Chain A
Amino acid sequence: MFKKILIVAFVTMLGAGITGIKSSPVQAAGDVAHPASQEWTTDGLFGFFDRKQLKRGWQVYSEICASCHSVRLLFYRNLQEMGLAAEEVKKIAAEAEVAAGPNEDGETHNDGELIVRPGKAFDKIVSPYPNDLAARAANAGALPPDLSLMTKARVNGANYLHALLTGYKDAPSGFKMSEDMNYNPYFPGSQIAMGEPLSDEGVEYADGTKATVDQMAKDVTAFLIWAAEPELEDRKRMGVKVMLFLIIFTALLYAVKRQVWAKLH
């Protein structure tokens, strides 16, 4: 008797659950397009960084994205770990202007102008705006988010970024656009303040790769994967070794356990 009631209750609940999932108002309302899965060299157990691609991605970032988006957690020295030569990093850093700090007379400003020095490898990569308010002021109230953790800070981050960068379209008829906004089905709400950033031949790759929008989107996303998880390659390499060790060790422990328990019977 009890069993029957319970089974009925359970089946009812399960049924309600399944209908619940299907008729969920949120799923219905969330008309955000699902990003297509791309292939990334960093995927899988043996994921690695394609250094050439990272260099291209850095080029896209520094020539296009960097005018609005910061990567405030990165240092210039990190670019050397990414694959740039020490001399190149030194040159890139020196092009930036960094607050020099107080001079011998204790002044940080000269006639209202910040006293600066050329950047060094140990400096953080200089952000395009001094603070969030300045960034908003320069972008009609919209804040270009920092990109240093972007691929980790969004669901399905890498694919989302690629889809977003390549997903600009004309708004479907009847879709009400706000002023100064751009239609992008991958962005929550489908309206994004950022204008389409990439166009064919937007950069000129030194290695001769053809700079299509898709290629640039992939490259800059690969760069941002590295920026968010610079440890990824080391982590996976170490992980494979650790797993091999553990499998052997656990097999040994199992054998020991069998031998010990064999005495019992």
Chain B
Amino acid sequence: MSTPTWKNPIVQWVDHRLPIVTFLDHAIVKYPTPRNLNYWWNFGSLAGVILVVMIGTGIMLAMNYVPHTSMAFDSVERIMRDINYGWLIRYLHVNGGSMFFICVYIHIFRGMYYGSYKEPRELLWIIGIFIFLAMMATAFLGYVLPWGQMSFWGATVITNLFSVVPFFGEAIVQWLWGGFSVDNPTLNKFFSFHYLLPFIIFALVFIHLWALHTHKSSNPLGIEVQGDEDEIPFHPYYTAKDAYGFGVFLIVFLGFTFFAPNFFGEPDNYIEANPLVTPTHIVPEWYFLPFYAILRAVPDNFVDIWGILPVIIPAKTAGVIAMFASILVLLVLPWLDTSKVRSAKFRPTYFWLFWLFFIDTIILGYIGAKPAEGTFLLIGRLATAYYFLHLVIFMPLVGKYEKTKPLPDSISAAVTAGGSDAKEGS
């Protein structure tokens, strides 16, 4: 790295001792970026912004929240009623959580469509999956804090998942609870971890960005950058584009916050937790629904049907394994995808597979919100089977046998030829 000199003497003085200005100049000003990124590439930075919003509002909420079973619910209502603008801060936090997942899901699907996870960006993708896992943990822990009915029963159901661990199951669950049921010790530690995890996410995001900046952004064409004419500096092009995307995003985010703040929520969570009464219909937050559907999809007689697995694995265990597997399998996606071509633009078969997979996850989400019985269960099972079929079987096979379309010579060639992405880009 050549050290640039800065005209402003103060900037120069600081930069000579701590090259932070040079670093920022490299990372977000001169940072060379493919010139053909479309709006789907906005969602990474949007997720970063919403993370900051979540941490900011979360710190404000923690100033008045009381992590005690007898006061948690009322302290949240005190925030809503008595703290100046407390309702705004809490609703920002509540809807921000949903927005965070929307951004990250779009970000993940964008990566899948354009094959962004492929060599040399496998680790970038894997770190992203870890961020996603940390987000899920944080969201789950946070949902428990208001100590409503869904908080309590969600915590009970999810912590009970760990009882499937052989031999140590019960000990682990008691350890998670700090007692013999979800109670005050559980709430206290959940609060502690809910406050801690976002900072771990923050650190992971920096590692994610480090990996990103090592090989730079992928692009909609999925071909490598070949020269200066393929790239433009991040600033002002992508700062301007990200800022515009952020404006649109804020309209959606604040639209929900001000006009439908409980749209993503469950009415039952405005009833204080009652360990003696289970709500008739327990559903997790919407962003967990596909995984919840997979959890419940495994048949009771799973072991009999297949006859291969050792009989000691009961259905409950298989369901839990399936749910965790559905996320963890994404870690090896870069190797499951055997195609030489990245972008679905040039992969006619994968194009269809991608959209089927996308619809499959939507169906799983829909099924997750419905009771696990009758036709819903059947669809849930089919969709679960397809989820794994897509990732484990179709991805490797299609990559091998698919006849791909010819790739353009370079990004700049495609852009000057008036490719659709050039239009999207401008």
Contacts and interface: CB of A to CB of B under 8 A. Distances in A.
Q: Are A and B part of the same complex?
A: yes
Residues of A contacting B: mostly:
helix
Interface string A244-265: 0011011001101110111011
A175 interface: no
B176 interface: no
Nearest to B397: A2
B426 A26 contact: no
A10 B81 contact: no
Interface stretch (A13-21, A56-64, A96-104, A213-221): A13-21
B35 A264 contact: yes
Contact of A256 (B243, B360, B378): B243
Contact of B267 (A10, A23, A155, A258): A155
B237 A24 contact: no
Nearest to B371: A26
Interface stretch (B109-117, B285-293, B311-319, B348-356): B348-356
Contacts of A239: 254-255, 257-259
B258 A243 contact: yes
B374 A3 contact: no
Which of A13, A242, A257, A264 has the most CB atoms of chain B within a 10 A radius of its CB? A257
A63 B374 CA distance: 47
Contacts of A20: 374-376, 378-379
B9 to A, nearest CB: 30
B77 A73 contact: yes
B248 A242 contact: no
B374 A24 contact: yes
Interface in B56-91: 74, 77, 80-81, 87-88, 91
Contacts of A145: 271
Interface residues of B, number: 54
Interface residues of A, number: 51
B251 to A, nearest CB: 5
Interface in B132-190: none
A250 B378 CA distance: 45
A254 B244 contact: yes
Nearest to B374: A25
Interface in B262-290: 262, 267-268, 270-271, 280
**Nearest 10 CB-CB pairings of A with B:** A239-B258, A250-B247, A20-B375, A153-B270, A231-B87, A253-B244, A260-B240, A257-B240, A257-B244, A149-B270
14 contacts: A13-B382, A148-B77, A153-B267, A153-B270, A188-B280, A246-B247, A246-B251, A257-B240, A257-B244, A260-B237, A261-B237, A261-B241, A262-B426, A264-B426
